[in-house]
A and B are shown apart, each in its own frame.
Chain A
Amino acid sequence: MGIKVMFKDIRRIISLSIRTIAGLHLFTSSMFEISQTEGASMLPTVQSNGDFCIVDKRYKNGNKIEMGDIIVARKPTQPDSWVCKRITGMPGDIIIIDPSRGHIEKMREKFNNIISNDDDCEINKNDSIKENEFNSRFKEIKLNKNGFDRSPYDQFIVVPDGHVWVTGDNLSDSVDSRTYSVLPMGLIGGKIIIGMYLPNWMNFKGEYYRFLANTFHEV
């Protein structure tokens, strides 16, 4: 009799724990999940360490995702690691790959201004020397029969269907679409909606949580 009751209890415990685990798994894979961020690529928005974020998994696979949303996604070149980035291009958009690299015409203008403001500069007097000076300073810009070879500068890309363009908020310390190009929506794991900074929780001061709003507005 006693053994029978014990078996009944064990069976109940096993059944309950399996059901709980399954329910939790369903919840974290399709509703919400808390995950910790790491790295400096989203620095002004999300702290580099100890920042716990609530991930809304209903935006999995890029469903209903919008420009300016903060997402977590698998890194295309390293699928076992997750990255947290902001969407800066939707399918069909024309994107300049790296705005921080500058613009050839603007660089040339700037260079000419610097040279012409300098009265003592000998280069100013001769156009061919000026041209040579420019070419030697910016060796990566080469002329071909179509004009400038824009390979490191001024490169544009059209985001294909089912892909997005993602960049970190901290452009100077972020490995993002500028490196691995467009990100397939299938790699998107969810959208980050709330950030909770752990030191604020520990010290009972500051804001405990903050909504990570979509800061995008069209010009």
Chain B
Amino acid sequence: MKPTFNPDSSPFGSKDKVLLWKFNVKNIENLKINDVIFLKSPINPNQIYTKRIKGLQSDLIIPRYPDTRSKVLIPLNHIWVEGDNIHSIDSNTYGPVSTGMVIAKAVWIIWPLNRFGPVPSEGGRECRERILRYPNTVL
């Protein structure tokens, strides 16, 4: 999530502090596209990842490296998450994630005061097939 959180990469720079919304976030109804969420890592359950939601249930996703021209259909109550940074380990590696893994939603940047404000609602790439194919359609 480099351009959104912790933009300066110096080792002495302070880490960002964000306000989290924890109520009812395991329900898919409360998760929207482009929400920044904290989720348990599917690879190591004691780690926590920060990712941006890029697809919800029943979306058809074009992964970042479609080596076999494959598309991914997100199952029921699953989401597709990607980092804003191109080098992030995200759903392109471990696939769709169940909403039960979501811990919290990041809503407000608190600490570096020059960036105090709501978490940017844009970042990363668009990967939903229907949006990429019909970009001008209002849905």
Report A's interface with B, CB cutoff 8 A: 61-63, 74-80, 160-163, 180, 184-188
- Chosen A-B contacts, 22 in total, with CB atoms closer than 8 Å, are A61-B46, A62-B45, A74-B26, A74-B100, A76-B77, A76-B78, A76-B98, A76-B100, A77-B76, A78-B77, A79-B100, A160-B94, A161-B43, A162-B43, A162-B45, A163-B42, A184-B40, A184-B97, A186-B42, A186-B100, A186-B101, A188-B45
Number of A-B contacts (CB under 8 A): 57
Known: A79-B26, A186-B45. 8 other contacts (CB 8 A): A74-B98, A77-B76, A79-B27, A79-B100, A184-B97, A186-B101, A187-B98, A188-B45
Which 4 A-B residue pairings sit nearest by Cβ, starting from the closest? A79-B100, A186-B40, A74-B100, A76-B98
Q: Is the CB of A61 within 8 A of B76?
A: no
Name the residue of chain A whose CB is nearest to the CB of B44: A162
Instruction: Knowing A63-B46, A78-B77, A79-B77, say if A162 contacts B101 (CB, 8 Å).
Output: no
* Chain A hits for B41, CB < 8 A: 162, 186
A61 to B100, CA, bound (A): 12
Name the residue of chain B whose CB is nearest to the CB of A76: B98
Q: Is the CB of B42 within 8 A of A184?
A: yes
Instruction: Knowing A61-B40, A186-B40, say if A79 contacts B46 (CB, 8 Å).
Output: no
A76 to B102, CA, bound (A): 12
* Chain A hits for B100, CB < 8 A: 74-76, 79, 186-187
Q: Is the CB of A79 within 8 A of B44?
A: no
Nearest CB on B from A163, distance (A): 7
For residue B75, CB closer than 8 A to chain A, the reply is yes
Cβ-defined partner of B98 (8 Å) among A62, A63, A79, A160: A79
Nearest CB on B from A80, distance (A): 7
A162 to B44, CA, bound (A): 5
A74 to B45, CA, bound (A): 14
A63 to B100, CA, bound (A): 17
Q: Is the CB of B27 within 8 A of A184?
A: no
Instruction: Knowing A77-B76, A77-B77, A79-B26, say if A187 contacts B44 (CB, 8 Å).
Output: no
Q: Is the CB of B78 within 8 A of A61?
A: no
Name the residue of chain A whose CB is nearest to the CB of B101: A186
For residue B99, CB closer than 8 A to chain A, the reply is yes
* Chain A hits for B76, CB < 8 A: 77-78
* Chain A hits for B45, CB < 8 A: 61-62, 162, 184-186, 188
Q: Is the CB of B42 within 8 A of A162?
A: yes
Nearest CB on B from A75, distance (A): 8
